[in-house]
Amino acid sequence: MYRAIEVLCPMTKKKASVISKVIRLYRKTAKVIANFQWSLFFKTGSFNRKANIKHLISPLSERFKSTIQYHVVVPTLESFLSNVQNRFKDIVLSSSLPEKTKKVLLYINSRRKWLISKSEKALWINKEKHDYEIEPEERLFAKKIFKHILKSWKRPSFRSVSMLLDSKCALLESPKRAKTFDLWIRLSTHEKRKPI
């Protein structure tokens, strides 16, 4: 796994231009995948690192797309949701809600079930030998708090994300002929069978 950072690296103008284009396409593709993952989240209640994204259009290869989804987009969105959970918890604990409502809301938050539908079975909390049925009003309240946080925060944009690549897209190699460098990276590009 290699993370791209800015370093001085002697290369031809043509290679620099190709890498620049790959980075731009990488960021655009990350944004497309993030939009897809959000739609998945609002349908199913979670993100999926291994979701089928072949239908998403990008000049980058399927290998690039799966690397972006698995290593960049989903971990970033999961991290964002962890921050949402922390904010949700702060809102509930600092409120003047009844104790039972607080416990139920914290339970919903801990399981990221903010968007549970009315058709789903009522959840139960077994804590301190008390069973709490989650009322429809409490579900609605959890949903409102969650949506309020989403509206007040900007979602991750991926506009300036660094490339994070695995061996499917970049290989660290010892040069076969040139002795100037100890190592170089063989990088896949947006053009089929034209790595640099």
The beta strands (E) that lie in 86-168 are given as 124-127, 130-133, 164-165
Q: How far apart are CA 20 and CA 125, in angstroms?
A: 52
The beta strands (E) that lie in the chain are given as 2-3, 124-127, 130-133, 164-165, 170-173, 184-187
- 62-119: pLDDT as tens digits: 999 999 999 999 999 999 999 999 999 999 999 999 988 898 899 899 999 998 766 6
- 24-52: pLDDT as tens digits: 999 999 999 999 999 999 998 899 999 99
> Which tokens go with 110?
């801990």
User: What are phi and psi for residue 69, nearest 5 degrees?
Assistant: -65, -50
Residue whose C-alpha is closest to residue 188's, from 159, 154, 165 = 165
Domain boundaries, the chain: 2-187
Residue whose C-alpha is closest to residue 132's, from 94, 111, 101 = 101
For residue 175, give the H/E element and its range.
none
- 131-158: pLDDT as tens digits: 667 888 888 999 999 999 999 999 999 9
User: How much is the pLDDT for 4?
Assistant: 64
Pairing state between β 130-133 and 184-187: unpaired
State the amino acid at position 170 in one-letter form: A
Flag whether the pTM goes above 0.85: no
